[in-house]
């Protein structure tokens, strides 16, 4: 006997009736194009008349590409992989999607490409979500004033060129002047804060990226950092997408009230990647052969940084873009574009590098347009005198080279300026706590480093740092509360400098 509850699959006649009586499936329409031309990183596709700008296309070989040019009868597509895998005549399908990347805490501590795929050999990444790499910048009403400092741990920057959470501060200079070192040290200094970090390497050599990863791991910050590697061996299209993917990953955390530091190293290579793609797609070249919209690609990227309101998530994205100059030419096309977009610049001078002054920050050209409002009051009291002392010293130093006879006051000013500049020297991968920075700077401004050799200056600074960390815990708390330095705190810092100099005299057996 057959049961009424027997499924129709158990009876062939019932199954046939169910299939005959069911509605027919709706037809599925798919647009198919063909590759008509292959270049270095780009392809030309015909037959996809309805494709949209920035749409993601799927190739039969498994590669994907972004529609960058729309022309009658042809599409200019940027490949997100090696162009050697694409053949002329290969079929291409629309996806009706735009490029997206993985986001979420699972990316922290990993080295990934621009799409969030692992590049460190540590297995797959289980991301919480996918987000589009291109997004509109938050409107003005979703932003608020920058009012909190981002401590970099670098004396000359925290004192004279401060950076605030949500700021866009450009790091600019010639090759081998220490741009990447400053950015990496700023990341390492976040070890004792809640700031998450993203380091995006664009067009960098593989060994250079490996050194950065090693420094982050040794400094204990790799677990709270996402490293995006779009090196010179990767596809040009991935290098173009990489900084936008970094901002997308940062926006995920900022929407959860987290503070994020994004280092874009460097946008010179990014602009060159975009120029290469544009010229291959036969776009009209402009100044220095860059396409006309090269300003827009960086403006829409950096405008996504900022300090956001509670309604918009309450987090912040601080951007430290890096750009390279040639022969100190700050008026080149890409540097001037980025200077006009950002909220200030940290200029690293080859002239200071030749004098063995590291970090080679030139305070005459460096400026922070909004970070001063976020700078702690303790640093603000020191910064003004620091800039004046150094500017007067550099002016007198140039004048003294002519062999002019100098009076005692001028000679004393030269001695003090040289000592203050020497006190600003700092080894890389050695971020310094705020109270230790202030103790060194106050002692230098008081003359405790006057007349010391380079070796003795480093010895006195090291002694002051040890003593400040040990004896000035209450002043460190005062700095954290954003209270100004009172006279008593200054006297205690000066006393530390005097004791360090006295210790140097006793060590050398001479009057230092």
Q: What are the tokens at 134?
A: 């291109």
Neighbour tally for 25: CB within 10 Å: 6
Residues with Cβ within 8 Å of 281's Cβ and at least 6 positions away in sequence, in order, are 42, 68, 69, 76
Three-state DSSP class for residue 347: strand
Q: Output the tens digit of pLDDT for each of the chain's 512 residues.
A: 445 555 555 566 777 777 677 777 777 677 899 999 999 999 999 999 899 999 999 999 999 999 999 999 899 999 999 999 999 999 999 999 999 999 999 999 999 999 999 999 999 998 879 999 999 999 999 999 999 999 999 999 999 999 999 999 999 999 999 999 999 999 999 999 999 999 999 999 999 999 999 999 999 999 999 999 998 888 999 999 999 999 999 999 999 999 999 999 989 999 999 999 999 999 999 999 999 999 999 999 999 999 999 999 999 999 999 999 999 999 999 999 999 999 999 999 999 999 999 999 999 899 999 988 999 999 988 887 888 888 888 888 877 777 667 788 888 889 999 999 999 999 999 999 999 999 999 999 999 999 999 999 999 999 999 999 999 999 999 999 999 989 999 999 999 999 999 888 777 655 54
pLDDT, position 11 = 66
Active site residues: 369
Ordered domains of the chain (ranges, CATH): 32-98 (2.40.30.20), 101-374 (3.40.50.300), 379-508 (1.20.150.20)
Q: What are the tokens at 148?
A: 């909190």
**With contact defined as beta carbons under 8 Å apart, do 306 and 312 qualify?**
no
* Biggest alpha carbon–alpha carbon distance for the chain: 122
pLDDT, position 7 = 57
The model's pTM: 0.91
Q: Which of 363, 397, 353, 355 is nearest to 383 (CA)?
A: 363
Rounding to the nearest 10 degrees, give the CA dihedral for residues 185, 186, 187, 188. Answer: 50
Three-state DSSP class for residue 196: strand
pLDDT, position 384 = 77
CA distance 299 to 301: 5
pLDDT, position 233 = 84
CA count, 13 A, side-chain hemisphere, 472: 30
């Amino acid at each position: 006997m057959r049961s009424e509850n027997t499924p129709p699959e158990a009876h062939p006649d019932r199954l046939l009736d169910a299939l005959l009586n069911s509605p027919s499936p709706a037809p599925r329409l798919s647009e198919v194009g063909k590759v008509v031309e292959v270049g270095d990183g780009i392809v030309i596709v015909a037959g996809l008349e309805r494709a949209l700008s920035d749409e993601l296309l799927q190739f039969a070989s498994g590669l994907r590409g972004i529609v960058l040019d729309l022309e009658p009868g042809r599409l200019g597509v940027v490949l997100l992989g090696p162009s050697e895998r694409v053949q002329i005549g290969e079929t291409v399908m629309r996806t009706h999607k735009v490029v997206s990347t993985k986001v979420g805490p699972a990316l922290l501590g990993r080295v990934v490409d621009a799409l969030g795929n692992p590049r460190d050999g540590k297995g797959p990444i289980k991301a919480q979500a996918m987000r589009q790499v291109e997004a509109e910048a938050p409107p003005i009403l979703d932003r608020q004033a920058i009012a909190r400092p981002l401590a970099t741990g670098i004396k000359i920057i925290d004192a004279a060129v401060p950076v605030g959470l949500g700021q866009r501060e450009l790091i600019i200079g010639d090759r081998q002047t220490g741009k990447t070192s400053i950015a990496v040290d700023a990341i390492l200094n976040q070890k004792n804060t809640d700031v998450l970090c993203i380091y995006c390497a664009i067009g960098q050599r593989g060994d250079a990226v490996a050194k950065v990863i090693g420094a982050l791991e040794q400094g204990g910050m790799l677990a709270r950092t996402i490293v995006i590697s779009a090196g010179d061996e990767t596809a040009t299209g991935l290098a173009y997408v990489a900084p936008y993917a970094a901002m997308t990953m940062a926006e995920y955390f900022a929407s959860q009230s987290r503070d994020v530091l994004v280092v874009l190293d460097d946008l010179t290579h990014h602009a060159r990647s975009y120029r290469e793609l544009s010229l291959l797609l036969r776009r009209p070249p402009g100044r220095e052969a860059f396409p006309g919209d090269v300003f827009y690609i960086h403006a829409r990227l950096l405008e996504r940084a900022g300090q956001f309101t509670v309604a918009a998530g309450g987090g912040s994205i601080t951007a430290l873009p890096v750009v390279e100059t040639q022969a100190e030419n700050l008026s080149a096309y890409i540097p001037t574009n980025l200077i006009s977009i950002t909220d200030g610049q940290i200029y690293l001078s080859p002239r200071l590098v030749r004098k063995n002054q590291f970090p080679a920050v030139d305070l005459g050209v460096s400026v922070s347009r909004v970070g001063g409002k976020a700078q702690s009051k303790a640093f603000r009291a020191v910064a003004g005198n620091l800039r004046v002392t150094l500017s007067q010293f550099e002016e007198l130093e140039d004048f003294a080279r002519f062999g002019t006879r100098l009076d005692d006051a001028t000679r004393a000013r030269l001695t003090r300026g040289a000592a203050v500049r020497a006190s600003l020297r700092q080894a890389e991968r050695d971020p310094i706590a705020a109270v230790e920075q202030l103790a060194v700077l106050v002692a230098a401004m008081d003359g405790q480093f006057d007349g010391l050799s380079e070796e003795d200056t480093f010895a006195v600074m090291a002694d002051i740092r040890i003593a400040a960390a040990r004896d000035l815990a209450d002043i460190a708390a005062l700095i954290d509360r954003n209270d100004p330095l009172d006279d008593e705190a200054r006297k205690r810092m000066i006393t530390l400098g005097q004791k360090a100099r006295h210790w140097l005299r006793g060590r050398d057996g001479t009057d230092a």
